[in-house]
Structure 1
């Protein structure tokens, strides 16, 4: 056993915080450690007992879903509180005569509490995995039940689709048969149409030729009319010139001066 003589350190006042100070002997320390372990174990196992009580309740009252995140947070808070209490107890131990024994007892209490919290953490993780597996199995069961429940509807839909397809196939075969039966008539109609079209084309060519001939004839008539008009104008001009010349000849001797008065 190592005995250290150190001066007492200043202690911070922590209201409502349990410490290991003022412990008279080793037995009281061990008794306090066991009490702390029991309290921590009870606090950590309370959610598990609540879950077991809910599981043992009648099936008519469905249990509320567990909040695993809140449970993990509570475990983390308990672990932080345990470490904080150990640090405070360790500081208190330096003011005692048996420093090493006091620190060892504080470490033992911390180890037991952390072990309980670790066990609780593993239980929460296992319960969460089981919950997720149950949820996954339930979803698969629901999908399987929905699939099986919709099986008659799918079968009826497939049968209806098959019948509709067969009906369409029969209608198409009927149309093909009708088309094949009407092939000679369509060929005759096409031949008659081609003959009618060729006759129409021949009449169109004849009409175009006649139109061209009539246009040429009209052009020649216009040219002949213009020539006649020019000839008529020339004749009219020549006639007017002759008339003017005749008038000049008639008026010429009468207007000339007569030297002898006659």
Structure 2
């Protein structure tokens, strides 16, 4: 029995020793939570300024869009910081309740002590819940504002490109009408040239007949004339085949040159995009590191001020 009581005393003593550390860690959290509304108001002001800048930049000003992106990033970082503070306060509240619950079992009025600790925990939990709901509402408003800004920017871009699209549609319609008229002219010209082609075909047949008569008069037999014609046709066929092969090779080489040019341009575009992505990630990392350093410096200053105040009070 004595051993059990000694063990319980040692556990209570260890919890009492750790309590100041909990209080010290809770103090910066309370200070950060008190500063959260100020940061939220500053974030609202920054978002309002960014929204006003976005509405004034309808013509596609890149500086305004970059400023809006910076404001959005700052708001997101502020929301993350406030969420971390609320999470830490929740953990601290749960820990304090666990310590109080453990201490209550060493008192005489256990149930009264437990109810009191539970009420204190629920009160702090209600405050945290209230701030969490406010934070969630601000985040929803921010997301809705971002969607509205993106929709407005998209509408502005569509309106800005509407004259160009209309001009392109009109140019395409005009080109189509020109092609249709040219096709009709070509058909009319072919119809007008049909009698001349028929006359040319008849003249060619007459020449062939006259050529056959001339060969007969010169003593060339029909079989020899057919052989000569076949040899001539073969030569013409060989020449046409070589000409087609040369044209095909030229077209293939031209296609290869086009594909090589496209591959080169794609590599150049990919390299430029990769470079832009790397620079953007480096810039974002530098901004996050700077923000983290400023937050740490601010917390250090607040901690030093609290320590100075405690020393002055002592």
* Shared fold per TM-score greater than 0.5: yes
The answer to whether the Cα contact below 8 Å between 2:32 and 2:85 also exists between their aligned partners in 1 is no
1:48 pairs with 2:37 = yes
**How many angstroms apart in 2 are the aligned matches of 1:210 and 1:81?**
114
Identify which of structures 1 and 2 has the higher relative contact order when contacts are C-alpha pairs closer than 8 Å and 6+ apart: 1
Could you say if the C-alpha distance between residues 209 and 145 of structure 1 is closer, same or farther in structure 2, counting changes exceeding 3 Å?
closer
| Distance (Å, rounded) in 1 between the aligned partners of 2:96 and 2:181 | 89
After superposition, what is the alpha-carbon deviation per residue over 1:189-221, rounded to whole angstroms, capped at 9, x for unaligned?
Answer: 112223333444666787245869xxxxxxxxx
Q: How many residues align?
A: 190
- The structure-2 alpha-carbon separation of the partners of 1:105 and 1:182, relative to structure 1 and needing over 3 Å to count, comes to same
Choose between structure 1 and 2: higher helix proportion. Answer: 2
Of residues 129, 132, 154, the one that matches 1:118 is 129
2:176 to 161, 165, 168: 165
| CA gap 1:108/1:194 in 2 versus in 1, 3 angstroms | same
Q: Which runs of 5 or more residues in structure 1 are unaligned?
A: 1-5, 20-35, 213-262
Structure 1 distance, partners of 2:83, 2:202, is 93
The correspondence for 1:78, drawn from 75, 89, 98, is 89
Q: Matched residues in 1 for 2:223 and 2:178: separation?
A: 60
TM-score, normalised on structure 2? 0.51
* Cα distance in 2 for residues equivalent to 1:210 and 1:105: 127
In the aligned structure 1, how far is the partner of 2:183 from the partner of 2:123? 85
TM-score between both structures, scaled by the size of structure 1: 0.60
Tell whether the 8 Å contact from 2:29 to 2:85 is kept in structure 1 after alignment.
Answer: no
Which residue, 213, 220, 237 being the options, matches 1:207? 220
Q: Retained in 1: the 8 A contact 2:33–2:82? A: no
User: C-alpha separation between the residues in 1 aligned to 2:194 and 2:224?
Assistant: 41
Correspondence for 2:286: none
Please give the root-mean-square deviation of Cα atoms over the aligned residues, in Å.
Answer: 3.4
Q: Name which one, 1 or 2, has greater alpha-carbon Rg.
A: 1
Q: Contact 1:44–1:116 (CA<8 Å) still a contact in 2?
A: no
Q: CA offsets per residue over residues 71-100 of structure 1, 9 Å max, x none?
A: 333322211111011111112222333332
Q: Is the CA contact (8 Å cut-off) linking 1:93 and 1:99 kept in structure 2?
A: yes
CA contact (8 A) 1:82 1:110 kept: yes
CA deviations over 1:14-63 (Å, ceiling 9, x no partner): 142249xxxxxxxxxxxxxxxx9xx9887546323321234346838975
